Amino acid sequence: MFIGLLGPLGIGKSTVARVLINELKAKLIINEPFLENPFWKKSQKEPEFMLRSQMYFLLSNIINDWKAVKTDGIAISDTSCLTDILMWAWWYQKTGHLTKKEYQNYLKLVNLLKPIIPKPDLMILLVPDTIDNLKQGIIKRVKNEPYRQGELVFVKKDSQDLALQTKRVYQLKDILTKDWQIKVLFFQVNPLTVRKDKKIQEMIVEKVKKRLF
């Protein structure tokens, strides 16, 4: 079985993935793919590299998701191919990082590849209880993981990026179900406490088990 996670930046996808790995004896297939993307850093400062960056994510994540599909037992991806297709590419276009034409060309390629894009047996959607808690969670994470310094741009007082990403996750509840025929579980969590909140972790595990088994 293949489980994917989707949510705004800093929501706790990796935390939930680790909990599920421990409880379900699963295998993590993908983690922080941007670290291996040769175009990602340039794309954050030079818009002409964004389409190349998204193309790299698309193709590399298809390969990694196929590894998940072929894994014996349960595989979990905290950044599945559909995360980039349905949320990040959409967000980059909305915020002007991808031009309208580039986004349309990207979607044409996605449509061509759709028959071979692996679909998770279950997609877990995570949204924050408040955007402020999401921002504070990102600040805390950057302190522990300095290589994420670039994420601080999202926590500026006037930034609406995280709110836009969260809005998109709400939209994807129906899109994943209707357009991709994927089972969905939806959770609202506090990004500041989800890493230590045993009750929410246990609740997520139990609902995943019920949906899968």
- 115-150 pLDDT, tens digit each: 999 999 999 999 999 999 999 999 998 988 888 888
pTM for the whole thing?
Answer: 0.90
- 6-50 pLDDT, tens digit each: 999 999 998 999 999 999 999 887 666 677 899 988 998 898 999
Kindly state the average pLDDT of the residues 70-79: 88
**Cβ 89 vs Cβ 98: under 8 Å:** yes
* Residue 32 confidence (pLDDT): 64
Please identify, in words, the CATH class of the domain defined by 2-212: alpha beta
**Cβ 6 vs Cβ 82: under 8 Å:** yes
Which residue in 110, 126, 116 sits closest to 173, CA to CA? 126
Kindly state the average pLDDT of the residues 78-105: 93
- 146-192 pLDDT, tens digit each: 888 888 999 998 899 999 999 999 999 999 999 999 999 999 999 99
* Whole-angstrom distance, CA of residue 207 vs CA of residue 203: 6
Q: What are phi and psi of 157, to 5 degrees?
A: -55, -40
* Whole-angstrom distance, CA of residue 74 vs CA of residue 76: 7
Which residue in 130, 172, 178 sits closest to 4, CA to CA? 172
As a whole-number percent, the residues of the chain with pLDDT over 70 amount to: 98
* Residue 34 confidence (pLDDT): 72
Q: Return the domain boundaries, the chain.
A: 2-212
**Cβ 54 vs Cβ 6: under 8 Å:** no
The overall average pLDDT reported for the chain is: 92
